[in-house]
Amino acid sequence: MCVNLGQPIPDKLANPPQIADSIYFYLEAYFELDTERSKSMGTERIPFSRIVNYAKHVGLSHSECNDLISIIRLVDNGMIKYYNEKEK
């Protein structure tokens, strides 16, 4: 759109941050698991069982599953805090 309007492309779009492959897996998992949460009574945590099922689905080991749970919980807690503050 900027090009069509003769304006420069914003730096954030022209030079987006690079995401390491190891982080990209968890980001992709988070966005997929985000669709599994209940939003009927506000933003709720992603269910533990959904995280474990996802880990099994993608073939993670027990140790990798524990890492996934920890990382998803960390990101999820931050997002819930963000959503709650936004609703105020």
Q: What is the pLDDT of residues 17-62, one digit of tens each?
A: 888 888 999 999 999 999 998 777 677 899 999 999 999 999 999 9
Measured between alpha carbons, how far is 37 from 76 in angstroms, rounded to an integer?
Answer: 10
| pLDDT for residue 20 | 86
Predicted TM-score of the model (pTM): 0.76
Domain membership of residue 25 (yes or no) is yes
Q: In total, how many domains does the chain have?
A: 1
Collapsed DSSP state (helix, strand, coil) of residue 42: strand
Q: Decide if 53 contacts 61 (C-beta within 8 A).
A: no
Domain membership of residue 5 (yes or no) is no
Domain membership of residue 59 (yes or no) is yes
pLDDT range class, residue 78, cuts 50, 70, 90? very high
Sign of CA dihedral 51, 25, 63, 72: negative
Query: What's the alpha-carbon Rg for the chain, to the nearest Å?
Result: 17
Tell me which residue range forms the domain holding 45: 19-87
Domain membership of residue 4 (yes or no) is no
Domain membership of residue 78 (yes or no) is yes
Which residues have CB under 8 Å from 40's CB, separation 6+?
none
Which two three-digit tokens encode residue 83?
Answer: 């959503």
